[in-house]
Amino acid sequence: MKQIIIQGIRGKMGRALCERIEGRQDCRVLAGIDLSAGQEGAIPVVSSPSDLPAGGDVVIDFSAPEASMRLLEYCVAHSLPCVLCTTGFSEEQKAQICQASEKVAVFQSANMSLGINLLAELACRAAKKLGLDYDIEIIEKHHHNKVDAPSGTALLLADAINASVDVPYTYVYDRHAVRKARDVHEMGLHAVRGGSIVGEHEILFCGQDEVITLSHSAASRGVFANGAINAALFLCGKPAGLYTMRDLLED
């Protein structure tokens, strides 16, 4: 049975992880990391990775970029695999993640849902087939507490499309100050924040007289929790490297 550590254990995703792990026979939660130390039920919670008990097999991180960087330092020092589910990393932080992956196994995905990663594959196929005759716009919707925009998932989808075409698109996040016709090499990314929306993503392929829409809607955080747990178990025993959802799906 694998021993999992959860950073951000008192957040909504941390609690969703605990609920899903509780019903499994192949893993358990050893400890949690959060701003305030104490107990989360029977699970010990520490405020710093340096206070973690020994015996962890892998860490799942649903926190904030700064906390993720501190966690990575600990993981490298203790040869502990890490699943990064946090989004909103700066370019400098992304470089640090790559450096850490040279010394320890790191799994990173902006979205842990199988459906979202399938959506990315479908979007790539559509972009190749439809070409520049269809304008591409991505709309993402999340709860009002989400701080990064556009979402990491929207960028995941946009980056996947860009990697599949010959001439990459330029991302446009705001059109209110622009007074000109849309360029065929633009891709619009739009963020909606409101209420308790778990996560909705739409990719619009807008052509002459028709619009093709690919979409994904998450009904609960459980779908992301399941993906993160499966990624954590996949990562146990893996050599140093940067792994993605594609590696998990192909395993």
Q: How far is CA 47 from the centre of its chain?
A: 23
CA 63-38-148 angle, to 5 degrees, is 15
Give dist(CA 152, CA 114) in Å, integer: 15
- For the chain, give the number of residues: 251
Considering Cα of 148, then 152, then 153, then 159, what sign does the dihedral take? positive
Query: Would you state the torsion angle of the CA atoms of residues 194, 199, 204, 210, taken in this order, to the nearest 10 degrees?
Result: -80
What count of other Cβ atoms lies within 10 Å of the Cβ of residue 55? Answer: 9
User: Catalytic residue among 2, 141, 142, 201, which?
Assistant: 142
Respond yes or no: is residue 238 known to be catalytic: no
- In the residue annotation, 146 being an active-site residue is answered as yes
Q: Exactly one of 78, 103, 146, 238 is catalytic; name it.
A: 146
The answer to whether residues 193 and 150 touch, using CB atoms and an 8 Å cutoff, is: no
Cis, bond preceding 168 (omega within 30 deg of 0): no
**Distance between CA atoms of residues 102 and 239, nearest Å:** 9
Residue 27's nearest CA partner among 234, 224, 240 is 234
Reference 3, options 37, 39, 51, 54; nearest CA is 54
Q: Are 157 and 123 in contact (CB under 8 A)?
A: yes
Spatial CA neighbour of 166 closest among 137, 135, 132: 132
* Residues involved in catalysis: 142, 146
